[in-house]
Amino acid sequence: MRVTSTAGLFAVCSALLGLGGCTAQTADMPPDETEEVWDDAFWAAEDGKEDGLRRTGTVRREADTTPWSGYYWSMLQGELVMGWNDGNGRKVWTESDVRAFDACISDYSSRCVTLLNRMAGSHGEGLSPMMKFDYYTRLYLEDANGAGGSAATAYSHAAKWELENHFIGDNEDHRYWDSRGYAGKCIGWALATMENPEPTEDVDLLGITFHPADIKGYLASIYNGAQFFIPEDQAIGQEFHEAGDNSDEAYADVAPHDFARALMTTIGQGRMLEADLDPGDGVWNYPIHRFEARWTRKSSTRVSVSVKIFYANDEVGIDEVFSTNAQRPDLLNRTLTFDLRVGRTWNGDLTKATSGTWTGESVDTHPDVLLMGIEEGWRTSINEYRNTNMNTEVNFQLIKRFRINNVWTPLVDGLMADYYAD
């Protein structure tokens, strides 16, 4: 397991993934004095010969599932806690509103009951996702123990945590103020799409209506913690903004041969590949689910490759739903080009290249970090770190555990199960 220090990491879509690479970062392809460059005349003369060498080839692979596009949950605007105007009753709250709501979440005085009923509106429609979860927890405890029958410590305070840790607003002292233009939970969204179907319906649970955006927000927040549980052999690349004196090297990685290998070992095996597709200071994470690679052999040891990758988008409307549209206009693509160094008997296996270099525009558009998988059991392991500095990046109030059928289980897991089962 790899648990990465949380100091300054993992909360922003442009200052994330301080994971060091697990392979050598050989981004430059040194010249080979013995290289024979083969031009078109050479290949024309070779046509029809059975020497086992292929001039060109195509590799196409697609994951077993297709990701869904989703909002990256801006920390500047803080929609997860402050809400937004969706035209259907959802409201935008102030910080004082959220604090008043939180102060009443475990209180059954007439004043607090009146306040919560007024703020929630019909079926909780007026609440932000985190406020709605806290209200759901209150109703769950009412069903279990009666109104006011639970200890104050039993209630969740997911909205308060989000407000105090991940909402930037106009707070110039916030630790992510300099990243306010892009700070969010894009990595949580990207990792969540790899393991969960898109929420597409409105579902009533305990009298509260949960919209797709609510569930997407919970998933992005939960999986924001998954980034701390990436095994070392499942992470490739050094984050540029963390590199310091090694910034040139960090900008050059991920190396092309490592990228090609990652594509084949994830998408080639039916799994998605998570990638930060900005090699510079920005970090924008996306789930890649498909690729088409075309290669041409330029010499006995050099192959020119063009790869078109397909991935979901996180710069979309909060309430938009995409997987119900067979045309999937939300999906994006990008073409990357690079040269690979291969052996003289190379047979077209992209995983066998030994080094490479990015070419053309791809020098500035290639992936910066790749995540190939999450540690098994991380949803359980994460609870061991609730009293560490990880709690400034992970909303442990959202994944707070309750004793359900004699098993300690996050209440949000039951909410999710009921939502998807409906």
DSSP secondary structure string, 230-251?
Answer: --GGGEE---GGG-GGGHHHHH
Residue 191 has pLDDT above 90, yes or no: yes
In this predicted structure, the answer to whether residue 41 has a pLDDT above a threshold of 70 is no
228 shares a domain with 293? yes
How, if at all, do strands 203-205 and 208-210 pair? antiparallel
The mean pLDDT value for 110-123 works out to 95
Report the distance separating Cα 180 and Cα 286, nearest Å: 19
DSSP 166: T
- Residue 217 near residue 196 (C-beta atoms within 8 A): no
Task: Look at residue 179 and tell me whether its pLDDT is greater than 90.
Answer: no
CB of 341 closer than 8 Å to CB of 302: yes
- Which of these, 141, 137, 98, 138, lies nearest to 119 by C-alpha position? 98
Q: Residues 152-166: what's their mean pLDDT?
A: 97
Mean pLDDT is lowest, of 27-31, 93-97, 361-365, for 27-31
In a domain, residue 422? The reply is no
Asked if residue 274 is part of any domain, the answer here is yes
Structure-token pair, residue 132? 């709605």
Spatial CA neighbour of 285 closest among 178, 185, 166, 392: 185
Cis link prior to 369 (omega < 30° from 0)? no
Question: CA dist 370 to 81, 214, 224, Å?
Answer: 30, 28, 16
Tell me which of 21-25, 296-300, 408-412 is least confident: 21-25
Q: How confident is the model at residue 79 (pLDDT cuts 50, 70, 90)?
A: very high
Judge if 331 and 208 occupy the same domain: yes
Q: For residue 37, what pLDDT is reported?
A: 53
Report which residue type is found at 232. E
Looking at residues 89-108, what average pLDDT do you find?
Answer: 97
Q: Are residues 106 and 35 in the same domain?
A: no
222 token code pair: 């939960």
Name beta bridge partners: 161.
Answer: none
Residue 327 lies in a domain: yes
Distance CA 240, CA 136 (A): 41
Give yes or no: residues 30 and 90 share one domain. no
What is the rounded distance in angstroms from the CA atom of residue 190 to the CA atom of residue 313? 9
Whether the per-residue pLDDT at 39 is higher than 90: the answer is: no
- Residue 196 domain-assigned? yes
State how far the Cα of 82 lies from the Cα of 265, in Å rounded to an integer. Answer: 41
In the chain, the percentage of residues whose pLDDT exceeds 90 is 76
> Over 80: is that where the pLDDT of 64 sits?
yes
- Least confident window among 22-26, 351-355, 403-407: 22-26
Over residues 126-148, the pLDDT tens digits come to: 999 999 999 999 999 999 999 99
- When the pLDDT of each residue in the chain is averaged and rounded to a whole number, the result is 87
Instruction: Give the pLDDT score at 317.
Output: 95
Of 88, 55, 98, 92, nearest in space to 77 by CA: 92
* 247 or 201, which is more confident: 201
- Which DSSP category does 199 fall into? P
Domain that holds residue 108: 79-165
Which pLDDT does position 238 carry in this prediction?
78
Q: Exposed, middle or buried: residue 95 (CB in 10 Å: 0-12, 13-18, 19+)?
A: middle
What is the total count of domains within the chain? Answer: 2
Q: Give the HSE-up count for residue 124: Cα atoms under 13 Å, Cβ half-sphere.
A: 24
Is the model's pLDDT at 316 over the cut of 90? Answer: yes
pLDDT greater than 60 at residue 28: no
Q: How confident is the model at residue 333 (pLDDT cuts 50, 70, 90)?
A: very high
CA dihedral (378, 381, 384, 390) in degrees, to 10, reads: -10
Kindly state whether residues 188 and 53 are assigned to the same domain: yes
pLDDT tens for 216-241 read 999 999 999 999 999 999 999 877 65
Q: Within a domain: residue 403?
A: no
**What's the pLDDT band for 54 if we cut at 50, 70, 90?**
confident
DSSP E strand stretches across 268-406: 273-276, 285-297, 302-311, 332-341, 355-358, 369-371, 401-404
Q: Is residue 389 included in any domain, yes or no?
A: no
Does 113 score more than 60 pLDDT? yes
What's the pLDDT score for residue 20?
A: 31
Domain end (from 138, 165, 192): 165
Beta-carbon count within 10 A of 161 CB? 23
Distances (CA, A) of 73 to 81, 185, 350, 416: 10, 6, 36, 19
pTM score of the predicted model: 0.88
86 & 190 share domain? no
Query: CB 238: neighbour CB atoms within 10 A?
Result: 23
Asked if residue 45 and residue 25 are part of one domain, the reply reads yes
**What is the average pLDDT across 347-352?**
93
Separation between Cα atoms, residue 5 and residue 211, nearest integer Å:
34
Question: What tokens were used for 2?
Answer: 């790899």
Residue 103 sits in the same domain as residue 248: no
29 pLDDT tier (thresholds 50, 70, 90): very low
pLDDT band for 247, please (50, 70, 90 cuts): confident
Q: How far apart are CA 351 and CA 107, in angstroms?
A: 60
The confidence band for 280, taking pLDDT boundaries of 50, 70 and 90, is confident
Contact indicator for 236, 23 with CB cutoff of 8 Å:
yes
Burial readout 386-406 (b: 16 or more C-beta within 10 A, e: otherwise): eeeebbebbbbbbbbbbeeee
Residues 250 and 313 both lie in one domain: yes
Q: Please tell me the distance from the alpha carbon of residue 115 to that of residue 128, in angstroms, as a whole number.
A: 15
383 within a domain of the structure (yes/no): no
- Same structural domain, 153 and 240: no
- Higher-confidence position of 370 and 239: 370
Residues 55 and 98 in one domain: no
Both 25 and 116 in a single domain? no
Q: Is residue 80's pLDDT more than 90?
A: yes
Q: Which amino acid is at 212?
A: P
Within-domain flag for 387:
no
